[in-house]
Amino acid sequence: MNKNRKSIFSFVLIPIILATTVLSGCGNSASSDKMITTSEISDPGTTDVQKTTSEYTIPLNIYDRLVEAITVSPGKSELVPGLAESWEVSPDGLKYTFHIRKDVKFHNGEILKADDVLYTFDRMLDPATKALNTDFLDMIAGAKDRMDGKANSVSGIKVIDDNTIEITLAKAFAPFLANLATPAGSIYNRKATTEAGEQFGIDPQKTIGTGPFKMKSWALNDTVVLVSNPDYFQGAPKIDGVNIKIVPDAETNRIMFETGKLDIFNLSNSASQIPQFRDNEKWKNSIVSGPIVGLYYYALNEDIKPLDDVRIRKALQMSIDRQTLLDKLYYGEGQLVHGISPPGLLGYNPELPKIEYNPEKAKQLLTEAGYPNGFDMEIVQTTDSPNTLKINEAVQAMLQKVGVRVKITQIDESTYFATRQVGKLPSNQNEWSADYNDPDNFFYTFFSQKNSKVRSYNYNNLEVNAKLEKARTMVDQTERIKLYQEMEKTIAQEDAAWIPLFALNQLFVVQPRVKNFQVAWNGWSSMSYYGLEIVEAK
């Protein structure tokens, strides 16, 4: 998942009422032989996508969106009609007219109407909701006034009739459809959601969507049970439902899988267990993998000397043996990234020149920049992050070989983000994965003028800044991708504005009885289980 957006868990306290909504037996394993049993490492806290940025497995199964991003093959997606059977976009890229499917039923029997879409998006932008995902919709005309409390509705959203809704943007935004295909674009029922109040997303009986599964029960920090929706507009699922166990410990997950208590085990939650399955004759052919459309990287703060010198930044890029990091820390499950776009992202350029590992050339650059004996550098991370510490210590040792003396500083999370927000955070290792399949989600997020400071890059190439703004509004996708690929060379290689490391694979091991399992296009562990089947052993 997107670590900057989603690693800061926004859990809400679960009222005691949950205990009364749990049905007997839900803490057991599969309630029928047609149930899939899987696990998550933490309780989701809420299934209201407007109030969470961390856990999306349940939302992806109980709600639908106007547009859906489907997995064509590992690392490749396609935008297809969802609750909207079709749409038109005006030539200037401002007006989107969506035609809503007829006779789609919510779990409570209500028929989906355009008014439900209006309600959902207005709820997101209503300041009273305190939504966390408003950036997916804030490009709609009137969204800012609604969020600022200056308007009681969003001027850019208009219901034409029960099956037609028109959305007008404040200015053209090329990734808009991709935005709507994210979990944040999930559509709610006005009647059910209003009646549920604060219990929406928490009480299973009051959490209503249109999706292929319904939430039946939820035992806090134990099990969430989803059951098949027989009235699903694309046809009922071929499984009876999904038991989602909350199991924080990786070793416990492994034992549960090997003893048949789990159908699906996410190996990526514990990289150290990858060899145990990859080298095991029984399980090695049961591993399903796909690229995570994201990357690990080091952010460099150009306001801190000598990082303001491009020769220094290029020297740092060439001083890190990224392949060794990938092999030693992640068992080689991934590939190096040499720019900004990871494999699987729209516009990924596999022909981008490679950033070489060359310590001797790095030393030459340090000397040219006036630092023949190296320099002192600080890398900051949050406390209680052992995996980050491992990679930082490995990089510390690598940089020491070229004379760069690294101090690793650990600070609490609130201080970390407060310091980053004002542009003062020293270099840091982080990771980012795609929320939506568009280069804007990477390029603009990190290197636009407004985001560069709040992420403590302080990258100020004015020509690039102008191109980033232009790319967001371009209607011609071919020319737009060409522009991003040109900017990628400038930002990541000519300006060396950050140190790209690698993109990892997401690995699952699956019981033989589970068929049609595939990793989601973006490599998220959160996924839809709609297409799965269970085939009993002969």
Whole-number pLDDT of residue 537: 63
Type of residue at 40: E
The predicted-structure confidence for 348-368, as pLDDT tens digits, reads as follows 999 999 999 999 999 999 999
The predicted-structure confidence for 402-442, as pLDDT tens digits, reads as follows 999 999 999 999 999 999 999 999 999 999 999 899 999 99
Q: Given the structure tokens 């926004």, which residue do they identify?
A: 10
d(CA 443, CA 457) in angstroms, rounded, equals 13
Residue 287 lies in a domain: no
Mean pLDDT of 363-380: 97
CATH, residue 163: 3.40.190.10
Q: φ, ψ for residue 518 (rounded to 5)?
A: -145, 150
CATH, residue 308: 3.10.105.10
Mean pLDDT of 81-96: 96
CA 47-68-155 angle, to 5 degrees, is 80
Residues 6+ apart with CB under 8 A from 197: none
- What's the whole-model pTM score? 0.87
DSSP 279-297: T-TTTGGGEEEEE-SEEEE
Whole-number pLDDT of residue 271: 80
Q: H helices of 24-102, where?
A: 57-62
Residue 164 lies in a domain: yes
Structure tokens at 80: 């297809």
Query: Do residues 233 and 315 share a domain?
Result: no
Query: Do residues 184 and 321 share a domain?
Result: no
Query: Do residues 193 and 317 share a domain?
Result: no
Domain containing residue 382? 294-504
Residues 6+ apart with CB under 8 A from 524: 1, 56, 292, 433, 506
Q: Which helix (H) or strand (E) holds 114?
A: helix 114-125
Query: Do residues 320 and 411 share a domain?
Result: yes
**246, 258, 243: which is closest to 30 by C-alpha?**
243
Q: Choose one of 210, 243, 276: the last residue of a domain.
A: 243
Question: How far, in Å, are 323, 385, 438, 445, 460 from residue 452 at the CA level?
Answer: 28, 24, 19, 8, 8
Whole-number pLDDT of residue 23: 32
Half-sphere exposure of 158 (CA within 13 A, CB side): 11
Mean pLDDT of 387-401: 97
Residues 6+ apart with CB under 8 A from 459: 302, 447, 452, 491, 495, 497
Residues 6+ apart with CB under 8 A from 16: none
* 480, pLDDT greater than 90: yes
Query: Do residues 233 and 330 share a domain?
Result: no
The predicted-structure confidence for 182-207, as pLDDT tens digits, reads as follows 999 999 999 999 999 999 999 999 99
Query: Do residues 203 and 350 share a domain?
Result: no
Whole-number pLDDT of residue 108: 96
Whole-number pLDDT of residue 53: 83
Residue 444 lies in a domain: yes
Is-contact 441 451, C-beta < 8 A?
no
Is-contact 221 40, C-beta < 8 A?
no
> How many residues belong to the chain?
538
Residue 76 lies in a domain: yes
Residue 358 lies in a domain: yes
Query: Do residues 300 and 232 share a domain?
Result: no
Is-contact 46 78, C-beta < 8 A?
no
Query: Do residues 219 and 122 share a domain?
Result: yes
* 214, pLDDT greater than 70: yes
Assign 30 a pLDDT band (cuts: 50, 70, 90): very low
d(CA 214, CA 406) in angstroms, rounded, equals 51
Mutual angle of helices 440-447 and 462-473, in 10-degree steps:
150
Residue 223 lies in a domain: yes
Whole-number pLDDT of residue 361: 98
Average pLDDT value for the chain: 91
Residue 269 lies in a domain: no
Whole-number pLDDT of residue 55: 83
* 504, pLDDT greater than 70: yes
Compute and round to an integer the Cα radius of gyration of the chain.
24
Assign 74 a pLDDT band (cuts: 50, 70, 90): confident
Residue 351 is classified by DSSP as T
Query: Do residues 232 and 306 share a domain?
Result: no
Is-contact 329 114, C-beta < 8 A?
no
Mean pLDDT of 286-304: 96
Whole-number pLDDT of residue 54: 79
d(CA 212, CA 236) in angstroms, rounded, equals 7
Percent of all residues in the chain with a pLDDT value above 90, rounded to a whole number: 86
Query: Do residues 334 and 218 share a domain?
Result: no
Higher pLDDT, 11 or 38: 38
Residue 315 lies in a domain: yes
Query: Do residues 210 and 298 share a domain?
Result: no
* 5, pLDDT greater than 50: no
Q: Choose one of 228, 243, 258: the last residue of a domain.
A: 243
How many domains does the structure of the chain reveal?
Answer: 2
Query: Do residues 307 and 455 share a domain?
Result: yes
Whole-number pLDDT of residue 71: 86
d(CA 102, CA 327) in angstroms, rounded, equals 52
Mean pLDDT of 437-460: 94
